[in-house]
Amino acid sequence: MSMLVIQLPARPRGGSPAQEAAIAYSHVLSADGLAAGTQGRASAAQLPRADTVVAVLPATEIAWHRVDLPRAPAGRLRAALAGLLEERLLDEDDSVHLAVAPQARAGQPTWVAALSKPWLATHLAALEQAGVAVERVVPAQAPGAAEAPHGHFFAVPRQGAEHDADPHEPWLALADGQGVTTLSLDGALARRLLGAWKEQPVQWTAEPAVAAAAERWLGTPVQVRGEADALLAAARSDWNLRQFDLGARNRGLRTLRSLGKRLMSPAWRPVRWGLAALLLLQVAGLNLWAWQQQRAISQRELAMNEMLRASHPQVRAVLDAPAQMQRETELLRAAAGRAGDTDLEPLLMLAAQAWPADQAPVQSLRYEPGKLTLVAPGLNAQQIEQFRSRAGAAGLALDSSEGRLTLSRAAAPRPAPTTAKGA
pLDDT in tens, the chain (423 residues): 789 999 999 887 654 444 544 689 999 999 888 888 899 999 999 999 998 999 999 999 999 999 999 999 988 999 999 999 988 887 788 899 999 999 899 999 999 999 999 999 999 999 999 989 999 999 999 997 556 789 999 998 776 555 566 667 899 999 988 899 999 998 788 888 888 888 888 899 999 999 999 999 999 999 999 999 999 999 999 999 999 989 876 555 556 666 676 677 677 888 889 989 999 999 999 999 999 999 999 999 888 888 888 888 888 788 888 888 877 877 776 676 666 666 677 777 777 777 777 766 777 878 777 787 887 777 778 877 877 887 777 777 878 777 788 878 766 554 444 444 443
User: CB within 8 A of 229, min separation 6: which ones?
Assistant: 36
Q: Do residues 258 and 374 share a domain?
A: no
**Is residue 419 domain-resident?**
no
How many domains are contained in the chain?
A: 3
Are residue 315 and residue 352 in the same domain, yes or no? no
10 is a domain residue: yes
Do residues 122 and 170 share a domain?
yes
Residues 219 and 275 in one domain: no
323 with 390, same domain: the answer is no
Whether residue 281 is contained in a domain is answered as yes
What is the b/e burial string over 243-261, where b = at least 16 CB atoms within 10 angstroms of the residue's CB? bbebebeeeeeeeeeeeee
Residue 416 included in any domain = no
Mark whether 31 and 144 lie in a shared domain.
yes
- Shared domain for 247 and 312, answered yes or no, is no
Residue 324 is part of which domain span?
A: 271-336
- For the domain that residue 401 is a member of, what is the CATH number? 3.30.1360.100
**Amino acid identity, position 357:** A
Which residue among 298, 315, 336 closes a domain? 336
Does residue 417 fall inside a structural domain?
no
Residue 253 sits in the same domain as residue 109: yes
Residues 225 and 351 in one domain: no
Task: For residue 175, give the nearest of 183, 166, 187 by alpha carbon.
Answer: 183
CB 215 within 8 A of CB 221: yes
Choosing from 336, 359, 391, the residue where a domain stops is 336
Q: Are residues 193 and 210 in the same domain?
A: yes
Is residue 415 included in any domain, yes or no? no
Do 42 and 161 have their domain in common? yes
Q: Residue 40 sits in a domain of what CATH number?
A: 3.30.420.380
**421 within a domain of the structure (yes/no):** no
* Beta partners for residue 366, in sequence order: 373
Q: Are 228 and 362 contained in the same domain? A: no
Asked whether residue 366 is assigned to any structural domain, the reply reads: yes
Domain boundary among 219, 248, 264: 264
